[in-house]
Amino acid sequence: MSEARDEQLELMIGRVLKTGVFASGICLVIGLALLYVPGGARAAGILINVGLIILMTTPATRVVVSVYEYMRERDWLFVVLTTIVLVSLLGSLLVGLLT
């Protein structure tokens, strides 16, 4: 992969991470604020859960973007390595959901 492509991939990954953290933060802040509004506990719980889910899926999204970009570049070693990481993340999610 060329330096320009490496830089482009890093910028794209940075955008994914910033967007995920920002969206998660907004949901969490609004959810916490709604805890202090009478009758807002249910909406607060939903927003807090959504914020946490977004925060937890952000790293997996980063790996998906990496796999896609490495496939576009036909860098098969990194496709295999990042796919292994993605499968590990999904496996741990599955184990967490089943226990």
The 10s digit of each residue's pLDDT in 30-82 is 999 999 999 999 999 999 999 999 998 998 999 999 999 999 989 999 999 99
- Quick one: 57 exposed, middle or buried, by C-beta within 10 A (0-12, 13-18, 19+)? middle
Report residue 7's pLDDT band, with 50, 70 and 90 as the boundaries.
confident
* Structural domain harbouring 79: 3-98
Alpha carbon distance 11, 9 (integer Å): 5
Q: How many residues does the chain have?
A: 99
Report residue 1's pLDDT band, with 50, 70 and 90 as the boundaries.
low
Q: Angle at which helices 41-73 and 76-98 pack, to 10 degrees?
A: 160
| Count of domains observed in the chain | 1
